[in-house]
Amino acid sequence: MTTATLHIFVPTAIRGIMALLGPRLDAAAGRPVTQIVDLNPKIPERIAAGEAFDIGLTNPEYVPALIASDQVDPATHRPFGRVPLAVGCRAGPRAEPLRDAFAIADLFRRADSIAYTGAGTSGRIFLDAVARLGLSDTLRPKSRPMGGGEPVASVTAGDTELAVAPLSTILSTPGIAPAAVFPRDFGTDIDMSIFLSASPGRGATAVLDLLTSGTLNDELAAAGAMRFGFA
């Protein structure tokens, strides 16, 4: 890109984390970095459609097709963070979130309403988890598919009892707390990787290096995103 600003695609799941990192991204790049926020599945669609960008983050499974179409530099593709799927409720007295899949199933059975992101990765993973728990028919009448960011907003507004969302989204949303976090062995974590476009602007590599550096590991973990490696 030839504009004065770098452009980075940011998944809605880590919008809160990336907003906090914004000034450091600008400093690393030596110029402003504009964050374009969208759902994980929508980001590769926008790239495939030809939308200009310098840096991108999305689920790793979408990246090979973008590399094959010469829209992503394969040498720059790196792991970024792994975020557990979680369940949010309105913040109240501090309590340790549930971490057992069958306890979470009981939480869902007792809930009056459950919001999730209908077109997002977290929504797809939630529906798969519900099916594996044998709860699809039970939860269908009280499950509410919504747009990106809307499930947590509906809980904070008191319109919905529970929101299923990435842990990073729940932790960065005022007025909501994690009621449950799916265990890692249940296969519901959300992986995100990072890459550069085939022709990134000046400063993009410095941003990539910052976002994958070990100096951010503890900060990302506190925000709900743990580092991982490609299998």
The arithmetic mean of pLDDT across residues 24-34, rounded, is 97
Distance CA 13, CA 220 (A): 13
Domain region containing 45: 6-81+191-223
- Using CA atoms, how far apart are residues 156 and 83, in angstroms rounded to an integer? 21
How far is CA 83 from each of CA 24, 94, 108, 173, 190, rounded to the nearest angstrom? 22, 22, 21, 15, 5
Query: Which residue is it, tokens 């506190």?
Result: 222
pLDDT of residue 3: 56
Predicted pLDDT of residue 92: 83
pLDDT at 85 over 80: yes
pTM of the model: 0.93
Say yes or no: 163 and 201 in one domain: no
Would residue 231 count as lying in a domain? no
Whether 1 maps to a domain, the answer reads no
pLDDT-derived band of residue 2, with 50, 70 and 90 as boundaries? very low
Mean pLDDT score, 142-162: 96
Question: CATH code at 146?
Answer: 3.40.190.10
- Confidence grade of residue 93 (pLDDT, cut at 50, 70, 90): confident
Q: What percent of the chain has pLDDT over 90?
A: 96
Closest CA to 40 of 207, 193, 216, 181: 193
Mean pLDDT over residues 125-129, rounded?
97
* DSSP H helix total and E strand total for the chain: 10, 10
Distance CA 151, CA 156 (A): 9
Measured distance CA(72)–CA(70) in Å, rounded: 6
Regarding whether 210 and 181 lie in a shared domain, the answer is no
pLDDT band with cut points at 50, 70 and 90 for residue 95: confident
pLDDT band at 1 (very low <50, low <70, confident <90, very high): very low
d(CA 150, CA 207): 29
DSSP bridge partners of 191: 82
Among candidates 174, 190, 205, 154, which has minimal Cα distance to 16?
174
**In a shared domain, residues 28 and 113:** no
